[in-house]
Amino acid sequence: MSPTAESSQQAGQGPKARLSAPNVAIAGVTGAVGQEFLALLAERDFPIGELRMLASSRSAGKTIDFKGKTYTVEELTEDSFKGVDLALFSAGGAQSKRFAPAASDAGATVVDNSSAFRMADGVPLVVPEVNPQAVKGIELGKGGIIANPNCSTIIMLMAVTPLHRAANVKRMVVSTYQAASGAGAAAMAELEQQTRDVLAGDPVTQNVFNFQYAFNLFSHNSAMQDNGYNQEEMKMVHETHKIWGQAGEQKSAITATCVRVPIMRAHAESINLTFGKPLSESEAVAILKDAPGVSLIDDRSDNRFPTPLDASGKDDVFVGRVRQDISQPDGVGLDLFCCGDQIRKGAALNAIQIAELLL
């Protein structure tokens, strides 16, 4: 580069060079989503300069193998991010509130998987297939925080947004069937142990939830709000409005009922939609067939529709049971059913796709 060109670029007048291999830190690397971060970084051949693995003091000193190299887990502190361009956070909301601003101040661009910053003003809330424009102007290595939406919101909007673009969703009613993976590795282990306990006729091991989980289902375990909705349900409402860029009277009316079911991995959702104009089954199916990140399983003759097992370990959100809502006149209502892997598209994959937008 000539001195003239270099001075112009430094002055902000020339093209900005993008990082070809950013230095990456993973906060919460030993958790389920942190481990999925590693698997997906390798699977998608994400370019990495240096890699820093961070976790709580309990996990510091452990070793993790990644792409033929052994890394030692370091304790997550405010000083962990010097020289880091990209910080992927899945360390919990309290840890994100404490350490993500420090990472941003050190120059790392943070993609945070917790709820800590989702509704904060000025923090983009992003599903890359839905609102990639929200990260415009953000550069790796220049600081800033980007929020990853709630897993249920991501899965829902992957299925609904293509239809919303076509016919404008006026009202949405969603019921979720959420897997143990959404409550973490301890909940997954407890579901497995309780299943063994029940089948053996033993007292059930019960440490994570207030209810027996095996062979049972119950209202989502997030905090109940004053309006009678739990926190998970209200996340789906508020996050959708932010991601869709809706405010005031423009907002789609949304109501949700979130339920924890004894499934190990992958959430399912039943969704009822009311549109601003008619949308037929065939039109909806054609739209969903072409939607990025969506796979259609909709075989009425064999009663074959999406299941959590179809979605487990997969990147796509699976959609089916697309049908006209017979309770709504004039073809403005549709029902559909979808399943998505909570750990992949509902968490780690979405975060890495956000990072890929910035490359």
Tens digits of residue pLDDT in 69-110: 999 999 999 999 999 999 999 999 999 999 999 999 999 999
E strands of the chain, at which residues? 24-27, 51-55, 63-66, 69-72, 74-75, 86-89, 109-112, 145-147, 169-178, 218-219, 253-260, 267-275, 294-296, 317-324, 333-340
Q: Does the CA dihedral 53-151-210-216 come out positive or negative?
A: negative
pLDDT above 70: residue 160: yes
pLDDT above 70: residue 249: yes
Instruction: Give me the catalytic one of 151, 258, 338, 339.
Output: 151
pLDDT above 80: residue 2: no
Question: How many Å apart are CA 314 and CA 298, to the nearest integer?
Answer: 18
**Average pLDDT value for residue range 108-114:** 97
Please indicate whether residue 238 is annotated as part of the active site.
Answer: no
Residue 10 is predicted with a pLDDT of: 38
pLDDT above 50: residue 8: no
Predicted confidence (pLDDT) per residue in 116-141, tens digit: 999 999 999 999 999 999 999 999 99
Cα maximum dimension of the chain: 79
Quote the tokens at residue 146.
């980007």
Please indicate whether residue 164 is annotated as part of the active site.
Answer: no
Contact 334, 325 (CB under 8 A): yes
Amino acid at 166: A
Residue 184 is predicted with a pLDDT of: 87
Residue 17 is predicted with a pLDDT of: 52
Residue 286 is predicted with a pLDDT of: 98
- The residue among 98, 107, 86, 160 whose CA lies nearest residue 129 is 160
Residue 18 is predicted with a pLDDT of: 62
The DSSP result for 125-182, as a single string, is B--TTT-GGGGTT--TTS--EEEPPPHHHHHHHHHHHHHHHHH-EEEEEEEEEE-GGG
Quote the tokens at residue 209.
């939830």
Instruction: Give me the catalytic one of 164, 220, 267, 338.
Output: 267
Residue 3 is predicted with a pLDDT of: 35
Express as a percent the part of the chain with pLDDT over 70. Answer: 95
Residue 72 is predicted with a pLDDT of: 98
pLDDT above 90: residue 330: yes
pLDDT above 50: residue 203: yes
Confidence of residue 185 (pLDDT cuts 50, 70, 90): confident
Predicted confidence (pLDDT) per residue in 253-310, tens digit: 999 999 999 999 999 999 999 999 999 999 999 999 999 999 999 999 999 999 999 9
Domains of the chain (ranges, CATH numbers): 3-147 (3.40.50.720), 152-179+217-342 (3.30.360.10)
**Cα 260 to the center of its chain, rounded Å:** 17
Predicted confidence (pLDDT) per residue in 29-80, tens digit: 999 899 999 999 999 999 999 999 999 999 999 999 999 999 999 999 999 9
- Average pLDDT taken over every residue of the chain: 94
Amino acid at 245: G
Residue 11 is predicted with a pLDDT of: 40
Region of 34 please: left (phi>0), alpha (psi -120 to 50) or beta.
Answer: alpha
Residue 6 is predicted with a pLDDT of: 36
**Average pLDDT value for residue range 6-32:** 68
Express as a percent the part of the chain with pLDDT over 90. Answer: 92
pTM: 0.92
Residue 15 is predicted with a pLDDT of: 42
